[in-house]
Chains A and B, each alone.
Chain A
Amino acid sequence: MNESALSGLQSPALPRVRGGFVRRWVRNPWRRPTILATITWGYIAWSLIPLTIAIAVSFNRSRSSSSVNLFSLQWWWTDPSDSLLHDPELHSAVIQSLKLSLTTMVIAVPLGVAFALGIDRWRGRVASGANFVMLLSFVMPEIILGLSLFFVFSFLLKFVPLGSAAQILGLVTFQLSYPVIIVRARLLSIGKDFEEAAMDLGATPRQSIRAVLLPMLYPAIFASAAIVFADTIDDFVTVRYLSGPATSEPLSVKIYNFARGQPSPAINAAATFMLASTIVVGAVAYLLYRAFTRGQRTGAGLGDLATQL
């Protein structure tokens, strides 16, 4: 400690480093972080290249995943029996997927936003208990949640049949914590000043929430709606345990069942379709997020969105 401090004092501008090239390179505080940059870009390549290949397979003419042929929409709609559009099983699965995701989003987001608002201002033992249970549902591994819901619907709450109803109830339970966490983070950064100012100017509590607080929460609400949608359309654990007849299996479950059994480029097309729909929803949410945070003190960059996740 002493030695290094002294050497620092002797040459404050450029610490003199003896030794070979490697040593000097390692010690140079202004060198570019080459190793870290390589790791980062390497990771990004590793995380995205397999996906582009999987997407490419869905536009491939051949059934084999390795031989690349001409671009074709055979697995999307041209093929009369095996394509995503014409295979009746895949076709109904797409509709089931969209139905489950949209319904879950519509139920989970308002419930979660209201909970976040209430729990942020309500203090006390009951409040912290409710908050604890909410966060516990966030960290509980999905297999535990999915199976326990399966048990409750087959033994205690028998009036809910396995199928769409049970799936939606289960998905909402699993997704409820996302809007709560995202909206609470936003509430913390907003503070109580705006709302109190509105009430000072004569607004009732209800008005101050609806006219002042809620618009400020829109970015968080859109972000959480997009996340809930994306996460639900991909879900196959909870949904699989709670699915009844084969018609209630959404696309994700079909893909899971077929992925190893009878792989076909139509499965890739199905997965690509899911990807495209989440990207559309994500893009819409991001644009809304941008639109509603414009002109606010906090930037609307991806960095903020990332820290809210």
Chain B
Amino acid sequence: MSAPSQVEPVHRRRRSGRAAEEGIHYSRWFWPSFTIPATIWLVVLFILPLYTVVSIAFGTVDPIFRGPLPVYEPWWWSGEQFGKVLGDSFGLYRHVYIHTFEYVVIASALCLVLAYSVAYYVARYGGKRKTLLLALLIAPFFISYLMRMLAWINLLDTEGYINKVLTFLHLVPHPIEWLSGRPSTVIMGLIYGYIPYMILPLYAFLDRIDANLLEAGRDLGAGPARTFFRVTLPLSRPGILAALVIVSLPMFGDYYTNNLLSQSPKTTMLGNLIDEAYGSTGQGPRAAVFVLILMVLLIIPMLYYLRSTSRSLLTR
């Protein structure tokens, strides 16, 4: 990478000289024109929808049909719907927020411990088996989330293999109802569903850490544990934070893991509130307010992730 950048100034001067002679140059709109279609697409189908959510959340409700009446002009916005749902959030739905937070924190922490160990092993000790290991770690990427949850529904069913084994070994007297409102099952499902998204970025990050730095640490007398905690871990901190964010963002918006593995109000998460509001008539404004709340809660981790990854993209 360094050699071409040294050559570049000479190169560029020559080209611009020729460009002036022969008219080979990028016109002002050459590169922007490439981005126009996708940018228009995003403005119409990403920015505008988000604005619609805000207009519904701060809009009014049809007095007869209870349907939402979006208000697009900010000066006519009313905070009535928003205030009502926000009030409920501190009262009726407080436990839902607490659940969501608990599950996501526990699941992402366990994800990190497991994913870091696996990524570290593959990056440092993969050796000849690295390709095989990577293929096995990439495999879940190509297997649908639904398929993976379906697998656990089959296994954890009251007549499934896990209960068969447990009752056969007389570890439990009756089959355990894993699939009706157990937080542990939901957390396991969250880990199972999202850990592949954590292992690969962590692997990519750990693989780039210069092995010479670790050897230097060892040469200076630090033991394996000390080298790890004083060199490897601090170096991988940006990777860890980015991986935590990339896993916890979708977990906060998750409702399907819960619906598939629990189906009980005992384990309701914020995503379930949104999904239920979408499904029932007259709850449109409520769904919009919940979406807005979720967005506000997640905006800081999202911005952090964008900042850290755009930096790593440019310095790679």
Contact = CB atoms under 8 A, between A and B. Distances in A.
A118 B31 contact: yes
Contacts of A215: none
A301 B129 CA distance: 13
Interface in B295-311: 295, 298, 302, 305-306, 309-310
Contact of A137 (B42, B114, B179): B42
A196 B8 CA distance: 10
A147 B278 contact: yes
B42 to A, nearest CB: 5
A26 to B, nearest CB: 8
A139 B153 contact: no
B51 to A, nearest CB: 8
Interface in A114-132: 114-115, 117-119, 121-122, 126-127, 130-132
B98 interface: no
Interface string B276-303: 0010000010011001001100100010
Interface string B17-60: 01100001110001111111111011111111110110010000
Contacts of A144: 50, 53, 253, 291, 294-295
Interface in A1-58: 1, 4-9, 27, 29, 33, 36-37, 39-40, 43-44, 46-48, 50-51, 53-54, 57
B137 to A, nearest CB: 7
A65 B53 contact: no
A173 B41 contact: yes
B49 A185 contact: no
A156 B137 CA distance: 43
Chain B interface category by residue count: 35 or more
Nearest to B134: A302
B144 A37 contact: no
A106 B85 CA distance: 41
A234 B39 contact: no
Interface stretch (B74-82, B89-97, B158-166): B158-166
Given A4-B223, A36-B120, A147 B287 contact: yes
Contact of A53 (B53, B161, B249): B161
A65 B268 CA distance: 27
Interface stretch (A73-81, A252-260, A288-296): A252-260
A241 B37 contact: no
Interface string B122-150: 10110000110111111111111111111
B200 interface: yes
Given A29-B224, A143-B275, A152-B48, A114 B4 contact: no
A53 B19 CA distance: 64
A46 B316 CA distance: 33
Contact of A176 (B41, B140, B310): B41
B32 A4 contact: no
B153 A200 contact: no
A150 B26 CA distance: 40
Given A40-B122, A111-B37, A133-B42, A271 B18 contact: no
Contact of B146 (A37, A157, A234): A234
B237 interface: no
Interface in A182-210: 184-185, 188, 191, 193, 196, 199-200, 202, 204-205
B150 A271 contact: yes
B32 to A, nearest CB: 5
B39 A115 contact: yes
A278 interface: yes
A188 B316 contact: yes
Contacts of A185: 313, 316
A140 B302 contact: yes
A55 to B, nearest CB: 8
B204 A307 contact: yes
A40 B260 contact: no
Contact of B256 (A191, A236, A272): A236
A89 interface: no
A230 B96 CA distance: 32
A40 B117 contact: yes
B143 to A, nearest CB: 6
A118 B11 contact: no
Interface in A213-236: 227, 230, 233-234, 236
8 closest cross-chain pairs (CB), A and B: A118-B34, A141-B253, A234-B144, A50-B151, A8-B221, A148-B49, A118-B35, A115-B38
8 contacts: A122-B32, A122-B35, A133-B43, A139-B302, A252-B146, A259-B153, A260-B263, A282-B142
Given A134-B38, A149-B45, A149-B49, 14 more contacts: A33-B121, A39-B121, A46-B192, A114-B35, A115-B38, A131-B310, A144-B253, A191-B4, A193-B4, A205-B25, A234-B146, A234-B147, A272-B147, A303-B130
